[in-house]
Structure 1
Amino acid sequence: MKRIIRIILALVIGFGIVNVFKPLPEGLNFKGEEQEVENVRFLADRTFVNARGEREIQQEIFDEVLNMIRQARSIIVVDMFLFNDYLGALEEEPYRALSSELTAALVAQKQRYPNLHISVISDPINTVYGGARSEHFDQLREAGIQVTVTDLTRLRSSNPIYTTFWAPFVSPFGNKEANTVPNPFGEGGVSIRSYLALLNFKANHRKVVLSDHEDTLVALVTSANPHDGSSAHGNVALQFSGAAAHDLLQSEMAVLDMSNAFIPMLHLPVPERPESSTSNSDTTVQVLTEGAVERALLEIIGNAERDEWLDLAVFYMSDRHVIEALIEASQRGVNIRVLLDPNKDAFGREKNGIPNRPVAHELVSEGIAVRWCNTQGEQCHSKWLMHRTREGHATMVLGSTNFTRRNMHNLNLETSVVLRGDSEQPALDSAHQWFEQRWFNLDGHQYSIEYAVYADDSKLNQLLYRVMEATGLSTF
């Protein structure tokens, strides 16, 4: 009996080691070249309290996504984490039916242009890990659109303590639709195995759209999801074309490949990379995925010098490397402003402020300025950083990547982009003005509130945050 127990224990430990250290699928952890950019635009969805004390929502990201779909004739690739109409506890709140709008637009464009290849990539959370049907995915497939649910088993474990037992004892049995227990996200029921799969806390968290327009590949990278329950969130996006859009498409082909899905062939010209001596533009875009995002962030923060500026607007901040780099930058004399979501709302349910409140306490203790988004049930969902130099150069990072271990350490699938150029370049200037408006509550719109409103010096919460970040026993 003891021998059997030792064998089982050895197998469990073996599964745990493999799931933590196994090689990444080819094409992940991608670091693109700094490519000269064409037609670059900064987009933002804004939610604020107006002068009458009412919540007001101004959106442009998915309006542009729908426009990109209408313009396509050859190819559309949509990779979105949340693609569903689940509302959680928000049934009484006004919302935009983003999932239905996106589904209808894709189906309509496929019907207009039957030879148009459309590939939709998403996360198994939208089928509650195989325990429920996705009406949106069914509609897309019926229209002849390729839908790929990402194979998350190819990824490393972000919650190794749990996955060590789930991988050998639950995963082999798969999952199927059932009505055994309540759906954790919406109406109806799911299987118990759906809950067991959820606790792995791993995801394809990317938010990417690619489409052709007049022989040009157009790309959009965002923090926004086509998810009805998220439709009031504050988000940002960067739209661009040029060689970097082809880099982005290459990074998406890697997800299709790891999920054993059909990979489309694109017959659009790839812009040639100009020689540095002949290029007249200093505005570039660089595509980054997974762990490459953290490496870029640390380099940008590390290059910031005394009397320069670092501004951040972040939904989740918990990554120790980033936090320590910000503290070191502040000690060098860099001017830093951090705008954080208070982590109090999750689709109608109240949260406890972890990780942002303990992290904010640490930053403020080191002399870094922190303000909170003045959320009214929605989330301040951007993952954004800008560095501005004394010489008038700016570098901006945005995308799907939260500033956390799970999002930055080759565990989740993530995509962000870096835009570099003169600080007066229109997209960079628009992004800077977007942050200034939120930080200073300009135009009579209240976007943010003082740090003291949600200040939290609880030692227990600081300990909980550190343990949750280090072990992966968390949703952030």
Structure 2
Amino acid sequence: MDRKKIKEWSMRRRVLTIIACLFVLVYIGIVLYHTYKPLPEGISHDGTLYRTDNVEMLTDLTFSQDRSKDGMQHELQIFDEVFSMIDRAEEFVVADFFLYNGFYDEKEDFPELARTLTDRLAEKKEENPDMPVILITDPVNNGYGSYKSEEIRRLEEAGVEVVVTALDPLRDSTPVYSGIYRILFQWWGEEGKGWLPNPMAEDAPEMTVRSYLKLLNVKANHRKVVATEEGVLVNSGNPHDASGWHGNVAFKADGPVINDVLKAEEAVSRYSGGPEEFPRTEGEENPDGQYGVQYLTERPILDHLLEDIGKAGEGDEVWLGMFYLAKRDVLSALVEAAERGARVRIILDPNENAFGNKKTGLPNMPVAEELIEDSEGRIEIRFYNAVIGQYHTKLVYVKDGGETYISSGAANMTERALDDYNLESNLRIEAPADSPLAKKLDAYFKRLWDNEDALYTLEAEEKLDGFSQAQRVVYGLQKLLKLTTY
């Protein structure tokens, strides 16, 4: 090869090296910025603690007397109350729900939650044209831009204000992928004629490649809350038909906390292009109320949770009922509480089923092993006997002497939920240990832990014996690379 060709090849290689280095620098810069960038105004809401005498716990449970579907029973309270709140509303309805559709493949007769919610909201607006009726939801329900769901279409026709949450302004929880997405793919948009199968169900509308590329960012408005002038209901359940038999918990409260919810939801609407001003209620605080209630979203959920678990010591109790448990700060706090002498008991979903599809047990299986080992057996764990559906509850209950601290709502104990990535919603409650609410929580956990009238929970060892080393390796890689769906 002559000198001229060598020089040309050297020059080309140098140019390619410079381009590659520039790409890497731009990629790293984008990853860092979108992982730590400022949040939209009003996100990560740390609400005021208000006093009230009116806090109600509602539960959904699906259970069997054995490990089969034979004789399966359902106790469903939550969405009956959601629908009743909408029916009784006279001034406004504001709702924010993550999964909101009727798509599923399973051959089960699930409750028609999506259709019923649509009926209630549409009828309320049609009967009261001047009343603000607002639904905020996640773009998963319109295939990330591939189509408009029948539920959303009908609500809009009825005059309901539907706000599909803008996810791009939120921080990136899967930075390894999202950096590539932002450089190469986000400019394409999502609309067009879909041809790829919808992961929600076979008969759901098909999706475009561009929508799939957006889906892989794994970002969400994961909130689940309803507010009217009567009160707020903060929930772990979705108005999604195939979620209708999940185990869930909700808490309902009244008073000024309603306005905190409206303020937090207004922030999502404003940055997503929806209404910029939400209604407010004139409900007054009862300063002598026996309960303290506080609306929290995103990171403040974790901050208060760690503080509350940190109060538990010798003779105290910590209960968790949880769908996903993986946040390292929470795991450490639980181990430390057990070391201080608190009795820590946890009921986990086995993470083996997602709408009829088999899952691998991540993250709860390896996390359960870690907690038992790190606490030297002090932490007690049982897995819910999920014969169908999931134990989808997100509930933490700390008993510290004569006081109790409760955190419940949409937030799983994971980085995506608690580190300002997803939009989340929890109600934090302070209650006397001898209050009706605390007694109801005691009865709820005792019923499940002791299998009082059905086979609700199973010994941890029964589930962990079948968990493979390969799955542990996958879990380790997921933690390292942040390539998870939880």
- The structure-2 alpha-carbon separation of the partners of 1:301 and 1:348, relative to structure 1 and needing over 3 Å to count, comes to same
Matched, 1:401 2:411: yes
CA RMSD of aligned residues (A): 1.6
How far 1:110 moved relative to its partner? 1.0
Distance in 1 of aligned mates of 2:162 and 2:279: 18
* In 2: Cα distance, 1:178 partner to 1:122 partner: 23
- Structure 1 residues 203 and 432, CA gap change in structure 2 (3 angstroms): same
**Which residue in 2 is equivalent to 1:196?**
213
SS across alignment from 1:154: coil
Equivalence for 2:328: 320
Paired with 1:73 and 1:288, the residues of 2 have a C-alpha distance of 26
Q: Residue 349 and residue 161 in structure 1: after superposition, are their counterparts in 2 closer, same or farther (change >3 A)?
A: same
5+ long unaligned stretches in structure 2: 1-14
**1:241 and 2:254 matched:** yes
Give the one of 292, 315, 318 matched to 2:300: 292
Cα-to-partner distance string for 1:246-302 (whole Å, 9 max, x where unaligned): 111111111112212113442531425x6xxxx433410011110111111111111
Aligned counterpart for 2:78 among listed residues 58, 61, 66: 61
Paired residue secondary structure (2:95): strand
Distance 1:59 1:411, change over 3 A: same
Cα deviation, 1:23-48, whole Å, max 9, x if unaligned, reads 01111111112110242100000111
> Offset of 1:460 from its aligned partner?
3.5
Amino acid at match of 1:394: T
Task: Quote the residue 1:474 is aligned against.
Answer: 484
Decide whether the 8 Å contact of 1:34 with 1:284 is kept in 2. yes
Match of 1:465 among 450, 459, 475: 475
3-state DSSP of counterpart to 2:168: helix
Give CA deviations for 1:207-240 in whole Å, capped at 9, x if unaligned: 0000124xxxx10000000001111100000001
2:347 equivalent among 329, 334, 339: 339
Following superposition of structure 1 onto structure 2, how do residues 29-428 of structure 1 map, counting pairs within 5 Å?
29-50=44-65, 53-87=70-104, 89-90=105-106, 92-186=107-201, 187=203, 188-213=205-230, 218-266=231-279, 268-272=281-285, 279-365=287-373, 366=375, 367=377, 368-390=379-401, 392-428=402-438
Q: Answer yes or no: is the 8 Å Cα contact 1:233–1:381 preserved in 2.
A: yes
The size of the alignment, in residue pairs, is 463
Shift of 1:5: 3.2
Deviates more, 1:40-49 or 1:243-252: 243-252
Instruction: Please say if residues 208 and 221 of structure 1, whose CA atoms lie closer than 8 Å, have aligned partners that are also in contact.
Output: yes
Check the 8 A contact 2:53/2:289 in 1, yes or no. no
Q: Unpaired segments of 5 or more residues in structure 1?
A: none
Q: 1:343 to 1:227 in 2, by over 3 A?
A: same
Specify the SS of the correspondent of 1:181: coil
Pair 1:325–1:413, CA change in 2 (3 A): same
Higher radius of gyration, 1 or 2: 2
Deviation by residue 1:95-118 (Cα, 9 ceiling, x = unmatched): 011000000011111111111111
What is the TM-score normalised by the length of structure 2? 0.92
Instruction: Please tell me the residue identity of whatever aligns with 2:456.
Output: Y
Aligned partners of 2:121 and 2:155 also within 8 Å:
yes
Q: Using a 3 Å threshold, how does the CA distance of structure 1 residues 246 and 428 change in structure 2: closer, same or farther? A: farther
| Aligned sequence identity (%) | 35
| 343-352 or 44-53, larger mean C-alpha shift | 44-53
| CA drift at 1:462 | 3.0
Between the aligned partners of 1:350 and 1:129, the Cα distance in structure 2 is 24
Work out whether residues 106 and 140 of structure 1, in 8 Å CA contact, stay in contact via their aligned partners in 2.
yes
